[in-house]
Amino acid sequence: MNKKRVAATALVAVIMGGLGQGAHAQIQSAQVTGGAVRGVVTNDIASFKGVPFAAPAAGKNRWRSPQPVIPWKGDRAADHFAPACVQDTAFAVRLGAPPEVSEDCLYLNVWTPARTPADKLPVMVWIYGGAFVGGGTNWPLYDGTRLAEKGVVLVSVAYRVGVFGFLAHPELSRESGHGSGTYGLQDQIAGLRWVRANIAKFGGDPNRVTIFGESAGGISVNMLTASPVAKGLFQRAISESGGSMAPPISSGNAGGGVPVLALAEATGEKFLSGLGVADIQAARALPADKVLAGTRGIPRGFWPTVDGYVIVGDQYELYRSGRFNDTPILVGTNSDEGAAFSPPKASPASYEQQVRAGYGAKADLILAANPHATEAEAFAATKNLFRDSVFAWSTWRWASLQSQRGKGKAWLYYFDHRTPASPAGASHASEIGFVFRKPGKSPTEAEQSLSELMSSYWVNFARNGDPNGSGLPPWPAFKDAEPQAMHFDQTPGTRPGVPNYEQLKAMDEYFAWRREQATQISR
């Protein structure tokens, strides 16, 4: 056995040493909001699946804040997942998820290794990704068993997606009295309120709650860290390939950003017109599949909106002014995640055309920061521009602002695990299996070691607000003056600097320009 293999085996042994904390789970039933639930115990982990935390979001509850759960009598069998919220299921089915969807979807799941409610284990609440148009808690990759084995209570929360979760409309804004277009985020907040009220019954500590998510789930985490409605519902935050620091958009701009309410409401009015209905009441009476079919003509789709209630403004400015929910954060991105959203090839001309169409007066700056003289360079630049504009810039700026303005520290990572299927870098979402301790069907010893390392950092962070722990490579907190990132690759460790720093600085100038443009227009 070579030295690298011995070292990897030793590291796994050290990391696995913490698995005994939650042995012999004995919590098989609990009295929660709404009634009693009975779970299933397998290999010392108790699971409770399909636990309702709100009323069905159909009929009069469509496009309303989550309503109180409907009580039930007797023990409710919590032994299977609820259907996912209504969405196009093609992508989910390809990943092995069940095809069933419903508007009666506001359920959560709990995995606990606790022996008694008095154990007070750290709690991790998973928020799934899916571009805010898909996703569900019933995806096999999100099974919480193996992460719970490390001594945490794991919860996964469902939320409405697409038009059902994020439709904004003047009528809905008047009805609520505080804007519209954030119903999916309100579902997440309702799930967190359920956790605060009930998680102690499962051996969890309601004062040590970590929210974590990937992609749209990671973006949601960032949104919740600056939402006054979510204040006090969590004590740490982890975002994998997320972040929402770009300025809000009022028209078509490159680089993402949430729409302002007026733009989102105009999209909603166009959507209702396309459905052939006169008002929200008539739209609520339509079958869910007809509503879903009507979204195909909406180019940008439906995302969370600056409603003034859940999302109260420009996230970057909220952080700069200290108006955020100050907690430690652990955030990062993947090296080649732009590949999942880019065409299979690009030419220097097509890349330049794309940049000039989207980046306005700052197009030359972006072009200079991303070499694109050959087709190979242009292809890499196309992928990397998507990565940096949508994921990496927001993540870097979030870590920077947290370290500057907050009491909670920030930790930054860069996931760069390469495989024969992804030789150019780590693709979007490829880190999830490593965090959940399921790094593929036949993981190598090195992949298993990397998974144990990452999951230990995540669990330590949930436990202590700091990823560091005995036997793990040291991971310094992020500082602007001496930026460092933990690299998860063949030789995991912290390295100075920030990956793709020059490109991120160019994006920084672009977003500053966009923010100034928006300010001048508002004046």
Name the residues annotated as catalytic. 215, 337, 428
How many whole angstroms separate alpha carbon 99 and alpha carbon 449?
33
SS3 107: strand
DSSP 442-466: S--HHHHHHHHHHHHHHHHHHHHS-
How many whole angstroms separate alpha carbon 509 and alpha carbon 449?
39
How far is C-alpha 470 from the geometric centre of its chain's CA atoms? Answer: 28
The arrangement of strands across the sheet holding 75-77 comes to: 29-32, 35-38, 75-77
Eight-state DSSP code of residue 490: S
Candidates 36, 39, 49; CA nearest to 98 is 49
Candidates 453, 387, 378; CA nearest to 426 is 387
How many whole angstroms separate alpha carbon 480 and alpha carbon 483?
5
* Integer angstrom CA distances of residue 75 from 38, 280, 403: 6, 37, 47
Rama region for 281: left / alpha / beta (φ>0; ψ in -120 to 50; rest): alpha
Candidates 57, 52, 28, 23; CA nearest to 40 is 28
Q: Are 110 and 51 in contact (CB under 8 A)?
A: yes
| Dihedral, 332, 335, 341, 342 alpha carbons, nearest 10 | 150
- Mode of pairing for the β-strands spanning 484-488 and 75-77: unpaired
Amino acid identity of 249? I
* Beta-ladder partners of 107: 52
Kind and range of the H or E run holding 400: helix 393-405
SS3 190: helix
Max alpha carbon distance in the chain (Å)? Answer: 72
* Integer angstrom CA distances of residue 324 from 194, 315, 320, 401: 22, 9, 9, 11
